[in-house]
Amino acid sequence: MNKEQLDLLLRESDRFPPPHGMRLSYGTAGFREDASVLLSTMYRVGILAALRALKTEAVIGLMITASHNKVSDNGVKIADPSGGMLTQEWEPFANALANAPSSRDLVRLINEFTEKENILLDGSKSAQILVARDTRPSGEVLLDAAKNGIGSIIGAVAQDMGILTTPQLHWMVHVRNKGLESSELNYFDGLSNSFKWLLDSNPNNNELNDWDKRLVVDGANGVGGQKLELLKEKLNGLAIEIRNSGKGEGVLNERVGADFVQKEKIVPCNFGSQDVGIRCVSFDGDADRLVYFTVPSGSSNKINLVDGDKILSLFAIFIKEQLTILAARSKDTKIAFEPRLGVVQTAYANGASTQYLKDLGLEVVLTPTGVKYLHEKAAEYDIGIYFEANGHGTVLFSDYCISLLQPSYLELSNVFAGSEPHKAALRLLAISKLINQAVGDALSGLLLVEAILRHKNWSIHKWSELYQDLPSRQLKVKVVDRTAVETSNAETKVVKPPGLQEAIDLEIAKYPQGRCFIRPSGTEDVIRVYAEASTQEAADDLANSVAKLVDQLLGDGSSK
């Protein structure tokens, strides 16, 4: 590092001292804490993003968001050149940077790391970082700190993309690194054009009845509702009504949004008896998750949830159907391609969904929680579909697969234009353009669900009846130190503290079809408990008894 760089780093980092007595940790999706303690973290993650851009010689993304967390929290996600999450190899460095006690320590760490990684800090190279934030009130000042961090590395430049959904920023990084246009307008055009194309390619051209035409969206009082308002202008034939759109109807994520709806299974604010039977969908705070639901008749505030597992199942059925049509091409075609289709879930996937997918003949793999794990696994297939039950997921197409779906390749292979295999291939191609290839995206996920329902002429009720979810319950327990729990086997077994797994096993054994696991959250200061059993009462009891075990052993006393 030359003297100019050293002086700049020391001077600037002195302006952003780390919070006293706090250990920050890079979690499931980056750093996430109460916004009041994050200034130095943002500054330092800005430096990290600049170094990553120098190392990869590509555009990197930095998104200020705490997604589903409460409004007083904030956080930061980094998008790697592919548009996916920051490589896990850099997470230890991210942790070390965030926790360096002084500016001198920070500079020493940067020096060591850049030497090891062969990153030249002499200003000879330039680096570009796209930055954005969601609608949180703390976002602006935290983004300024991140920009200062970027500006502390000579040659690095931040390009402020304004207020975006997280998946919009990831998409921008993905397409920018392919040398394509990456404005928000391009994003909306891409979505609306491929959506229209998919609707037009519907052989049955199904007219929906008025009942099924209506779609009501819960925007979690965040950025997703605002962006959907803009996208809506470009969509014909979809009657979308947006509530909790962040225009002062309520607080971000408070009794609204995908996380609330999926975990509590009750109606979000501003939904109720007027929505009985209508197709409803909830986004989370930064619009990278979506879950559908309906409000049943009756006086209770319960909903019928159509979660990420069912979205995955719908996508898998449709894609498999198109692949079957493509495989049934006439024998004089030369296409020699049988794409490997795989699905990726986590331990939170309802047991009934995993069984259903396996019964469809699909390869199902489990990974730990966090899109960084699911995405990586899904990318191993020609077409990889991944979804967490909480609604975070997408469909990945390999470059090879996309090249074989191109009209020019189909022509070469004698798959005649207008034939059913030709149409099936183009439908798959349209899906690859519609669904975000960088990360889970509520807006593109919604359009793909809507297009498929229209193709199949399915109501949400028909979709929901694909299989019957096993009753489940998810709880969280506040603990003194969540790192006290360590797990293995895709988070299904506790390995630390000793004895806890055996105690959980004894509880599970009491319930028919019982399944239960615990894991430390990587976004909140809690241990999560998930339980499944043959009845709702049993699932509730199992979750409660295991939560009690955790509380007795590790609790912070707040549940007493």
Catalytic machinery residues: 67
Quick one: 28 or 182, whose CB is closer to ligand G16? 28
Q: How many other CB atoms sit within 10 Å of the CB of residue 155?
A: 17
Stretch of 14-22, 247-255, 369-377, 401-409 contacting ligand G16, by CB under 6 A: 369-377
What is the rounded distance in angstroms from the CA atom of residue 395 to the CA atom of residue 373? 14
Residues 373-392 that bind ligand G16 (CB under 6 A): 388, 390, 392
491-517 exposure pattern, b = at least 16 Cβ within 10 A, e = fewer: bbbbeeeeebbeebeebbeebeebbbb
What is the rounded distance in angstroms from the CA atom of residue 260 to the CA atom of residue 289? 12
What lies within 8 Å, CB to CB, of 136 at 6+ separation is 35, 64, 65, 66, 71, 74, 252, 285
Q: How far is CA 214 from the centre of its chain?
A: 26
Interacting residue with ligand G16 among 369, 413, 444, 472 (CB under 6 A)? 369
* Site membership for ligand G16, residue 25 (CB under 6 A): no
First to last CA, the chain: 54
**Site pattern 48..77 for ligand G16 (x: CB under 6 A):** -------------------xx---------
Least separation in angstroms between residue 442's CB and ligand G16 is: 10
Q: How many other CB atoms sit within 10 Å of the CB of residue 258?
A: 32
Please count the residues of this chain forming the interface with ligand G16, following the rule CB under 6 A: 18
- The reply to whether 286 sits in an annotated binding site is yes
Quick one: 77 or 147, whose CB is closer to ligand G16? 77
- The reply to whether 136 sits in an annotated binding site is no
- 3 state SS of 496: strand
Interacting residue with ligand G16 among 243, 289, 375, 455 (CB under 6 A)? 289
Stretch of 90-98, 118-126, 301-309, 365-373 contacting ligand G16, by CB under 6 A: 365-373
- 3 state SS of 522: coil
Are the C-beta atoms of 69 and 164 separated by less than 8 Å?
A: no
**Site pattern 524..543 for ligand G16 (x: CB under 6 A):** x---x---------------
Are the C-beta atoms of 126 and 120 separated by less than 8 Å?
A: no
* Site membership for ligand G16, residue 410 (CB under 6 A): no
Are the C-beta atoms of 427 and 322 separated by less than 8 Å?
A: yes
* Site membership for ligand G16, residue 196 (CB under 6 A): no
Interacting residue with ligand G16 among 370, 384, 421, 445 (CB under 6 A)? 370
What is the rounded distance in angstroms from the CA atom of residue 185 to the CA atom of residue 5? 37
- The reply to whether 484 sits in an annotated binding site is no
Quick one: 83 or 522, whose CB is closer to ligand G16? 522
Interacting residue with ligand G16 among 521, 525, 540, 544 (CB under 6 A)? 521
- The reply to whether 451 sits in an annotated binding site is no
What is the rounded distance in angstroms from the CA atom of residue 89 to the CA atom of residue 92? 7
Stretch of 235-243, 376-384, 409-417, 516-524 contacting ligand G16, by CB under 6 A: 516-524
- The reply to whether 115 sits in an annotated binding site is no
Nearest to 299 by CA among 272, 279, 278: 272
Quick one: 55 or 174, whose CB is closer to ligand G16? 174
Task: Report which residue type is found at 107.
Answer: V
Least separation in angstroms between residue 528's CB and ligand G16 is: 6
Interacting residue with ligand G16 among 46, 81, 308, 522 (CB under 6 A)? 522
What is the rounded distance in angstroms from the CA atom of residue 9 to the CA atom of residue 54? 16
Interacting residue with ligand G16 among 33, 212, 218, 284 (CB under 6 A)? 284
Residues that bind ligand G16 (CB under 6 A): 28-29, 67-68, 284, 288-289, 369-371, 388, 390, 392, 521-524, 528
Residues at the binding site for substrate are: 388-390, 519-523, 528
Residues at the binding site are: 67, 284, 286, 288, 388-390, 519-523, 528
